[in-house]
Chains A and B, each alone.
Chain A
Amino acid sequence: MNEHLKNYINDTENPVYNFDLGRWYEDQDHHSPAAGFFLRAADLCPNDLDLRYESLLRTYFCYNRAGNRNYTCESILKSAITIAPDRPEAYYFLSEHYEKLNDWPNSYLFSSLALEFAKQPTKFRTYMYFNGMYQLYFQKAKSSWWMGKPHECRNTYRFILNNYINDLPQNYRDFLQERLSSLGAGLEHETIKTYTKKDCYEKFRFKFSGLENIENNFSQIYQDLFVLAILEGKRNGTYLEIGSAKPFFRNNTALLEQQFDWRGVGIEYDSEFCKEYADNRKNTIINKDALLVNYKELLKENFQDDKIIDYLQLDIEPAKHTFEALLAIPLEEYRFRVITFEHDHYVDITQSYREKSRRYLRSMGYELLVSDLSAVEGCTFEDWWVKPELINPDILAKMRNENKHDSICVTDYMLDTL
């Protein structure tokens, strides 16, 4: 006879035997009898909180799998919370349950309550589909978005990145990467710091020749003005722009080309952007995957024997690709006076490419002049590098960020905000 059934018959009031027989039925995908025996187990152990709690959760699993009994599922999980309000699992399943129903207020409520009141996960007899508190943070992040709380959503995902990244299984890592990338730093107007002569000229810390003629710039966070400032308003400079995107909006070379007569070449994967770029800009744009470009040939073709190029922009996504593009550029043969490297640390779930890029660029003789730039607090995404021997030392000294190990909002660096 089936061992679990035999044990049950020998002692029908033993909650463990009821539980084990429920597990046996559950293993056969027979969720109705499984639910019955789990509920019986829960009913038979008023003083064994652990088994009662686990039995109720397994009863919920069975009703959930049987399908379309939402009120009962909620009722069982709320009972479980009632008997063990300091345990996280029932809150989590309830939040997940409401998520499936698009009931975001309740999904948000129960994930928030859990994070407020529940302690670390319980030890169970059986696998319970709850692997850590990070799952509750995911629930809270997801539901907060639909509750009209985008900042909380973004911050919660970042909290997971900063505190639980090593606990996450691959599917959660992938989801987190996708969410962080897709959410970015915030709304567009919050993530762009634009220079206008009217508002910023007086406050601009690193004035250079020609600044007085610039009514406004194009870069997201002053990259174009940084390049011009450190090169003292250089005219007829050269650039390699990897990840060009749009011809003007948030573009780092438009100002250089239009007002300072720079020449250069851009690489962009998106064909629509390329078409717009080609229609509106003088300099060359190449529609190609930046990771498939032969940079040695490209640089020779565009800059002939000139081995010093004024500006290199690296900005493709994700951070891994930006780093791989950097490695593909023959830095031992060509030197760049200025490099802006977008490491996207705030959305890099590996949290590794910022350090990798820094190690590599230092090894190639570059100096990290300004690190961890951002437009919004907590969203550091870019480092600015120079080749010191190719820069005026006086300017270099003036523009070195004294507090280079801390992240910095670009306006605090470029403008005198006091």
Chain B
Amino acid sequence: MIRNFVKDCIDNGSDLKPLLVKAKDMVNPSLMNPSILTLPNNKVIVNLRNVNYLLYHAEHSLNEHSWGPLCYLHPENQIELATHNILCSLNDSYDIERYSNVDTSKLDVKPLWEFVGLEDARLAYWENKLFLSGVRRDTTTNGQGRMELSEVVEENNVYKEISRARIPAPPDNTSYCEKNWMPILDLPYHFIKWTNETEVVKYNTSNQTCETVHLGKFQDLGTGDLRGGSQVIKIQNKYLALVHETNLYNSEAGRKNADYYHRFVVWDENFNLVKVSKRFNFMNAKIEFSCGLCVHNDRMLITFGYQDNASYLLNAPLTFMLQFINE
């Protein structure tokens, strides 16, 4: 277990940047769970999830909130967990050079549940279209979660959502909540829905159906449940993604707490799971979450959220990262 993976990366030629936009431009106070993508023109873009809660997490339980060590603190007059998305263009130094809130007004309808907006959106670029792919839970009165695919275009420096598709869950679309499907960037409309046993699904845009196209066998890797994380990228004829494990537990007083861990996962070209890396935390916090991974020139770029209140971009030498993954 590596508690401070970022430090190892920094010691091996990496750099880390906070991902920030001007506070006055934010609808909500917290920037979390960023995703990152290299576009065909070699420009790099980032999506920041902007939420209305502050995570109160007394990680060492010394100053717990009266509601427990881990609390999601919304404004007291807002019952909903509201998410907006902010799309950003990066310059060559990986600094944010411009950004805009994603304008969803064309497709928004009155929310029916209290988790509002597209959550933990991953960036994907398929068939010359830019997509945000995340979970939405506000379309039914019971909070049913489905992955959605939102196409966005940039007009006059503002990103606008121009289409929205709700993806049914194979096989029979009866599950309660689907989330963290990982878009496979070189296979349009394909996602890794589950890591172990590996399930690959394909969304059919013409008839809005979704089917399982690969179902691997469970492998005893000595890990916990491997849950979705970043996009799936192809590198050296293999597929690579970052996934997470969770340890959800109660404090002695019976209040919920959680630890998150990450691992790299490697599949061969046929989506046979061939490697999982050591388990790590990025910066030694209990709640961290990555939904962004890409290669840019000779660097591997990883974006991750820290304690649901901050976003970072880790920019590491590709050689070092591959060495770590293959250890």
Contact = CB atoms under 8 A, between A and B. Distances in A.
A66 B10 contact: no
Contact of B76 (A9, A31, A36, A69): A69
A71 B73 CA distance: 10
Contacts of B60: 43-44
User: Which of A56, A66, A70 has the most CB atoms of chain B within a 10 A radius of its CB?
Assistant: A66
Interface of A: 1-2, 5-6, 8-10, 12-13, 25, 28-33, 35-36, 39-40, 42-44, 46, 52, 56, 62-63, 66-72, 75-76, 79
Number of chain B interface residues as a range? 35 or more
Contact of A39 (B31, B57, B77, B306): B57
Contacts of A29: 23-24
Contacts of B66: 75
Contacts of B58: 39, 43
Nearest to B53: A32
Interface of B: 3-4, 6-7, 10, 15-18, 20, 23-24, 29-31, 54-63, 65-66, 71, 73-78, 283-285, 306-307, 309-310
B29 A31 contact: yes
A25 B75 CA distance: 20
A9 B283 contact: yes
Contacts of B75: 67-69
B129 to A, nearest CB: 32
Contacts of A42: 62-63
A380 B77 CA distance: 50
Secondary structure type dominating chain A contacts: helix
Given A9-B7, A33-B309, A44-B60, A70 B16 contact: no
Given A9-B10, A13-B284, A28 B63 contact: no
A68 B310 contact: no
A2 B31 CA distance: 18
Contacts of A10: 7
A30 B59 contact: no
Contact of B65 (A44, A70, A75): A75
B14 to A, nearest CB: 10
16 contacts: A5-B16, A12-B7, A12-B284, A29-B23, A30-B23, A31-B23, A32-B30, A40-B285, A42-B62, A46-B62, A52-B63, A62-B54, A68-B78, A71-B76, A76-B63, A79-B63
B59 A12 contact: no
Nearest to B50: A32
